[in-house]
Amino acid sequence: MLVDLNLLLSEEEYEPRVGTQYEVAPGKIGTMKHPTIELQDSIFKMLQDESVNDFSIMQQVLGGISNVTERECVPLVPSKAGEDFFSLLRKINERLRVISEGLKERQQEGQDSSPGPSNG
């Protein structure tokens, strides 16, 4: 999928994924990176700096755009790329929570069905 200005202006819904492509400047495409722990840590560290902006976050979360300058960026794309990255993180967090709850339920079921101490 290619996220470009036309898509953003149409307000058409799409689901951001690893590998989603963004036209960050005319003819220049960046690709959403995997949200590794290392990348997440880097982004969260950047957010501590008051001078961080959408462009600098986009540079971190999209691959293949090292030669793009802020002045040549397509409007809306830097902020949307950052927003999509955080949407991926939210989905990962939600999925981990569901998995964790499932594991807790299975553990509880296992404890409930295990025989108690024998009094013999």
Q: Which domain holds residue 47?
A: 2-112
Q: Is residue 119 part of a domain?
A: no
The backbone torsions φ and ψ at residue 49, rounded to the nearest 5 degrees and listed phi first, read: -90, 125
Number of domains, the chain: 1
Band of the pLDDT at 66, cuts 50, 70, 90? Answer: confident
Q: Is residue 120 part of a domain?
A: no
Residue 39: how many other CB atoms lie within 10 Å: 15
Q: Is residue 72 part of a domain?
A: yes
Q: Is residue 48 part of a domain?
A: yes
Q: Is residue 8 part of a domain?
A: yes
Coil, strand or helix: which one is 63? strand
pTM: 0.81
Q: Is residue 117 part of a domain?
A: no
- Residue in the block written with tokens 């963004």: 22
CB within 8 A of 19, min separation 6: which ones?
31, 32
Nearest alpha carbon to residue 63 among 84, 33, 27: 33
Q: Is residue 47 part of a domain?
A: yes
Determine contact, residues 12/25, Cβ cutoff 8 Å: no
Q: Give the residue-averaged pLDDT of 43-51.
A: 92
Q: Is residue 53 part of a domain?
A: yes
Q: Could you give the percent of the chain with pLDDT greater than 70? A: 93
Give pLDDT, residue 98: 87
Give pLDDT, residue 32: 97
In the predicted structure, residue 30 carries a pLDDT above the cut 80: yes
Residue 50 per-residue DSSP state: T
Q: Give the residue-averaged pLDDT of 86-115.
A: 83
Band of the pLDDT at 31, cuts 50, 70, 90? Answer: very high
